[in-house]
Structure 1
Amino acid sequence: MNTTESSGFTRSPEPSIARAFGRLRFRHLQFLDILGQTRNLRLASEWMHITQPAATKMLMEIEIILNARLFDRLSRGVAPNELGLFTLHYASSALEGHRKFAREFDTLRHGGAGHLTIGAISGAAHLLMSTVSEVQRLRPLLVLKMLEQSSDQLALWLAERKIDLMIGRFTSSEQQAQFRYERLSAEPLQVVGRVDHPLRNKRVQDLTELARWPWILYPSPTALRRVTDDIFGSIGLTPTSGVVETPSFWFSLELLQTTNMLSLQPASLAEEYARKGLLTRIQVDLPDRMPDYGLITHLGEALSPSAQAFVSVLREKAGVELEV
């Protein structure tokens, strides 16, 4: 059975999807975003300050414009189907784009230099800090927002346009169809513990000794977690004395300083905090299995002037040239 016809929409000479989307108004997008959150026409109408019949009519208008049913009507609300979920994602991204435009426009109108939101993995901290310092010198009015997270979460934020660009790595093959990757740096690893950890002055010859200690691990499916699993998997062991999972280096740092736990961290962070007297590096030879990290941006989209300025400094600090 033809699903389009069975849902009440007939196949007719269809306008291009671009023309159809051109008929969607800003209020339609607001309504879709609210309905996606509430899954209830009555609540959506209250949020929009319209009557419930008006909300029902607006949903019908949207479905007529797109020539497809987007929501299944249930006894206690509505549920988006596959096309509905896709459209809700579009509405959310479009509204975020509008909000970003409004913020940028207002900042520029008052003599500012715009906003830029950067997402980065913890291992890029040293490169990121030197880049931010130089960018602030060159563009003192530019407002920078920095977010630290694992690459899988950063990729989601980039897809949702909650960040302008990310410094990390791909965690799935699907991301290569969405984003452009530009290598920045390698990321050596180091096992760390608190300053007076029992292993601090000992060279660990056998990796099985590390499995006896409690560990702080990055969560799956981060690259650091895969490397940790590979290291212990190579000796047929897993940590057995207690495990805490967290994507946050700062939480790990606090926990490492008050326990005998160990953690596998980027060498740049390990060296910096060992230099500050907050951590000690455990002497052990590790397989060099960590993939490089890089700059990840939307495929086929030009960067804003402020993002271009940031990326130019980032490349300079990383010692890489523009890929043509």
Structure 2
Amino acid sequence: MPRHLNLRQIEAFKAVIENGTISRAADILHISQPAMSKLIAHLEFDTKLRLFDRVKGRLAPTEQGMRLYDEVGRIFAGVRQVENAVDAIRREEQGRLAVGVLPALANSFIQKTTTAFLRDRRNVFCSVQSLSSQWIVDWLIARRLDAGLIGAGYDNPYVTLEPLMEHPLVCIMPRDHELSDRAQIEPQDLDGTPFVALTPETIVGHRVEEMFETYRVKPDIVLVANAASIVCEFVASGLGVSLAHPLMVSGLEHRLSVRRFAPEILYNFQLCRSTDSRNARLIEAYAHELREAASQISGSLLVER
């Protein structure tokens, strides 16, 4: 006779789907492989559903399995909301700050900022998550974060947004590039030059593309990427040049040459927090460190030659 489903079976099912194999799922749940296999077998028996196909010794989720996984995801999302509420209550009693940062700034910039923030606040626990701007906003609304650093162009009535660290884009290039002899780079300097571009779907990529069209410049696009960190790495490796916000270059100064670019293409990030944030004092202190670190990095990159 089928038994009632239990949470351990659901946890095992979720772990197998997300980790791909019985062995990895067993490691995640700290149980043996035979015990994991037994949980999955009992779940299939109790539900009368074929949740997995056995393909060359591996488990491949069936359509029924994926439909069940979607439902399980909703259940665990509800559990996470409760955990988030508990965490928010704890943060009201303790010195805790949860920060989200978009990948473009998940480099030495955020490390320097957070280290400076914690230096005189030994009683504060800080967590930093690298997430897309949209996820940061969603997590702020769900109270999983206290503050976030996101890109320009995002808006949401449930969060407070403050433009931060506006700066013209700079031209970045390999250390030995022929353009590194110039103090300032202009559009015509990039005509026919190997160029590593951000996708036009990003705000920076779109503005750079518009500038090229305005000045009738056609660089040799050798690679397109959707993240500034990828662009910077390929430029540092010698593939070409690019345009980026100075803070996106943080940590790569020793591998890149950075030059002013004219005409100015301004770009800013945004500090965001929930509209009813209860951690305002720590958020303001963190914002101060953001501005200080940004000023230092931008200044050091653009020292007059």
TM bracket, shorter-chain basis:
0.5 to 0.7
**Count of residue correspondences:** 257
Task: Please name the residue that 2:194 is paired with.
Answer: 214
Task: Please name the residue that 2:101 is paired with.
Answer: 119
Report the CA distance between 1:138 and its aligned residue.
3.4
2:238 to 225, 244, 259: 259
Report the CA distance between 1:167 and its aligned residue.
0.6
Corresponding residue SS for 1:186: strand
- RMSD (CA atoms): 5.0
Distance 1:265 1:218, change over 3 A: same
Identity of aligned residues (%): 13
Report the CA distance between 1:156 and its aligned residue.
5.7
CA deviations over 1:140-166 (Å, ceiling 9, x no partner): 243433344553454466567665431
Distance 1:233 1:256, change over 3 A: same
Distance 1:257 1:123, change over 3 A: same
2:164 to 184, 200, 223: 184
Work out whether residues 173 and 242 of structure 2, in 8 Å CA contact, stay in contact via their aligned partners in 1.
yes
CA distance in 1, matches of 2:136, 2:37: 30
Structure 1: tracts of 5 or more residues without a match: 1-26, 39-45, 58-74
Report the CA distance between 1:237 and its aligned residue.
4.8
Task: Please name the residue that 1:151 is paired with.
Answer: 133
The structure in which a higher percent of residues are strand is 2
CA deviations over 1:196-246 (Å, ceiling 9, x no partner): 111111366751431422233334533222222222232345543411415
TM-score if structure 2 supplies the norm length?
Answer: 0.59
Task: Please name the residue that 2:151 is paired with.
Answer: 169
Q: Give the residue type in structure 1 aligned to 2:215.
A: I
1:77 aligns with 2:64: yes
Work out whether residues 152 and 270 of structure 2, in 8 Å CA contact, stay in contact via their aligned partners in 1.
no
Distance 1:268 1:92, change over 3 A: same
CA distance in 2, matches of 1:117, 1:229: 32
Distance 1:213 1:153, change over 3 A: farther
CA deviations over 1:239-260 (Å, ceiling 9, x no partner): 43411415252x4444323315
Corresponding residue SS for 2:242: strand
1:280 to 245, 253, 257: 257
Distance 1:154 1:49, change over 3 A: same
2:214 to 234, 244, 247: 234
1:95 aligns with 2:82: no
TM-score if structure 1 supplies the norm length?
Answer: 0.57
Task: Please name the residue that 1:316 is paired with.
Answer: 288
Work out whether residues 102 and 151 of structure 2, in 8 Å CA contact, stay in contact via their aligned partners in 1.
no
CA distance in 2, matches of 1:165, 1:93: 21
